[in-house]
Amino acid sequence: MEEFRNIGIIGRLNSKKVIETIKRLKRYLIEEGYHVILEDRIADVMPGHGMQTSKVSILGEICDLVIVVGGDGSLLGAARALAKFNTPVLGINRGRLGFLTDISPDDDMLQAVQDVLDGEYVEERRFLLDAEVKRDGNPIGSAAALNDVVLHPGKSARMIAFDLYIEGQFVYSLRSDGLIVSTPTGSTAYSLSGGGPIMHPRLDALVLVPMFPHTLSSRPIVVDGKSEIKIVASADQDIYPTVSCDGQNHIPCAPGDAITIRKKAHKLKLIHPKGHNFYEICRTKLGWASNLGE
């Protein structure tokens, strides 16, 4: 097990509850002799914190562990910044669902964190995606995603026409509200809302989910995680679609643009408390029945 001494803290902005949790966490870690580094943006709204601060892009270099206080959205942003450093990430849930940030900010929070610091944890590797948009063969934008890469109409309410290729093989031409390309991590997010399957996080697979397709025969497709996905927006349309990565980074596109999506070289090292159970999380977060006889 790794030894955690230098601990970074990232928090969701504009939340009093997050600030309260970070102050409590910071105080405890300092009392226990750990070196704490705050992300500079959250430090700006905590006057008098007296801590070392750092940009997220640097935290991965100087920390043994980064704790994210917020919702899954906060962890998605941290994941994209930290994956290349192989820095373990632990989530404390101050959001809604909390599929990724699975420590509750209740009375047992500090004990759960201490257990992790003592080596009592489960480690997972989650792969990310790289998306690149080319126009006339020239790159015009790129972004990474832990959950999903989504082609959608942007501000338009009209359908997009596009061609789909997997590993260079033509799959179909489709008219729809777009296409979701999701990792197993993202299969419980937007992909699930679009009718995609739930995939266990350890799977090396991608799911492609058409959004409100113009044909009833278009169904989600699960493919090998190493597959290269290429989407070409039809040149014979006046829709200017958008590619969104994790719903946080957006690349404006034009008719004829080609979007290539492939697995990122670096994986996220995600830490969970001992006893972490994916199916229990699904039961809790998605409202699955635990005992029909009760």
The residues spanned by each domain of the chain are 6-119, 128-265
Short-list 119, 115, 95, CA closest to 105: 95
Task: Collapse the DSSP code of 233 into the 3-class scheme (helix H, G, I; strand E, B; otherwise coil) and give the result.
Answer: strand
| pLDDT, tens only, 239-252 | 999 999 999 999 99
Short-list 198, 108, 216, CA closest to 207: 198
Side chain identity at residue 186, one-letter code: G
Give the mean pLDDT of 129-156: 96
- Residue 178 is assigned to a ligand binding site: no
Q: How far apart are the C-alpha atoms of 210 and 109, rounded to whole Å?
A: 40
Count, residues in the chain: 294
- Per DSSP, the residues of 181-227 read EE-TGGGGTHHHHTTPPP--TT--EEEEEEES-SSTT---EEEETTP
Quote the pLDDT of residue 78. Answer: 95
- Residue 242 is assigned to a ligand binding site: no
CB 235 within 8 A of CB 91: no
- Residue 81 is assigned to a ligand binding site: no
> For residue 2, what are the contacts with CB-CB under 8 A and spacing of at least 6?
64, 65, 88
Percent of the chain at pLDDT above 70? 99
- Residue 27 is assigned to a ligand binding site: no
Whether 75 has a pLDDT exceeding 60, the answer reads: yes
- Residue 165 is assigned to a ligand binding site: no
- Residue 70 is assigned to a ligand binding site: no
pTM of the model: 0.94
| Residue 267 exposed, middle or buried by CB count within 10 Å (0-12, 13-18, 19+) | middle
Give, in words, the CATH class of 128-265. mainly beta
Residue owning tokens 């980064």 = 66
| pLDDT, tens only, 114-139 | 999 999 999 999 999 999 999 999 99
Catalytic residue numbers?
72
- Residue 189 is assigned to a ligand binding site: yes
- Predicted confidence band at 74 (pLDDT cuts at 50, 70, 90)? very high
Tokens of 278: 């994916």
Residue owning tokens 């942007």 = 154
Which fold does the domain 6-119 belong to in CATH?
Answer: Rossmann fold (3.40.50)
Whether 3 has a pLDDT exceeding 90, the answer reads: no
Tokens of 274: 């001992």
Beta pairing class for 242-245 and 249-252: antiparallel
Side chain identity at residue 279, one-letter code: Y
Q: How far apart are the C-alpha atoms of 39 and 53, rounded to whole Å?
A: 6
Whether 266 has a pLDDT exceeding 60, the answer reads: yes
Query: How distant, in Å, are the alpha carbons of 16, 23, 40, 123 from that of 44?
Result: 14, 13, 6, 31
Whether 292 has a pLDDT exceeding 70, the answer reads: no
CB 51 within 8 A of CB 37: yes
